[in-house]
Each structure stands twice: as C-alpha cells, then as structure tokens.
Amino acid sequence: MISCEPLIKRNIIEKNYKHGIYIWSYSSFGGENIRCDGEIYNNLIQSNLEYGIRCKGKNCQPRIFNQNKIIFNKMAGIKVDHNAYPVIIQNEITRNLQQGILIQEKAQAHIENNEISDNMKSNIAYGGECSVNTTIIKNRICRGRCEGIFLIDGGKS
C-alpha cells in the first residue's frame, strides 16, 4: 500500500518473500501531505520472510485492529519506522522470530489491548531519536524470550 486508504479484512496473508503487508506514505515529488491510512482487521498474517506488517513514512497512520493474528514471521510482527504512527488495537502478536512490535527512531504508535507474547526478542521494543508519544496501555505482554518491553532513549512515552 503506497499513499492510499484501503480496507484489508478477513484475509490469510502468508509465506511472502518480504512483508505480509507494507504500508508506506510516499511521494515521488517530495510532497508532505501524502497520507497512507487504511484499516487492517481480522486477518491472519503469518510466516512471511521479513515483517508481518511494516509501516513507514511521515503520514503513515493505519489502524491495525480487531483480531489480526500476526504470527511466525521471520522478523518482527509489526515494524514501525520513518515517522509512521499506527494505531494497534486488539490483536494477537505472537511467536515472531524477532520482536512482536518494533518501533524505530522517529516513529511512534498507540498500542492498546493486544496479546503480545512468545516473541524471540522483546515483545515490544522502541526508542531512539524523536521516539516520543508512544502509548502502551491495557495489553497482555508475557512469555517473551527477552524483555516484555524494551525502551531506550524514548522521551515522553
């Protein structure tokens, strides 16, 4: 998905050579007002060779909610970077080979009421330059092989 607002509902998205879903707000003309929102719900996103879902770009603000199962991906279940700000509510994010949710520098997220467990690295990892305003509330975060929540240089979160 590049600079669009789709509805992705009730799909099985599995065994792709890169990401299950790639959401990118991008403008080849350098425009700052290009948005990429959309709604992703009630999907099975599993066994992809990179990320289950990747959110990238300044105006990338999708809603990832309502019973998505994001499991068995080779990297993080959800990766957020380059100023993206997804809303992640009521999902099962489990058994990914890296983090459950990875939020890198200059990105943020609202993470609420999810089951985040059994990931090989941290269940949630975030921080770095300009990594502020991430909200983590009412989640069940358990059985991570490393940290439940790993925060480094995260500012006001």
Residue 127: what pLDDT?
87
Non-local (6+) Cβ contacts of 30 within 8 A are none
DSSP string for 126-144: EESTT----EEES-EEE--
Q: What percent of the chain has pLDDT over 70?
A: 93
Domain ranges, ordered by start, for the chain = 7-27+35-152
DSSP string for 102-119: EE-TT---EEES-EEE--
Q: How many residues are given for the chain?
A: 157
Separation between Cα atoms, residue 88 and residue 101, nearest integer Å: 10
Residue 28: what pLDDT?
61
Residue 72: what pLDDT?
98
Residue 153: what pLDDT?
81
Token pair belonging to 70: 């994001």
Tell me the pLDDT tens digit for each residue of 6-22: 999 999 999 999 999 99
**Average pLDDT estimate for 130-144:** 90
Arithmetic mean of pLDDT over the chain: 92
Tell me the pLDDT tens digit for each residue of 85-115: 999 999 999 999 999 999 998 899 999 999 9
**Average pLDDT estimate for 143-150:** 93
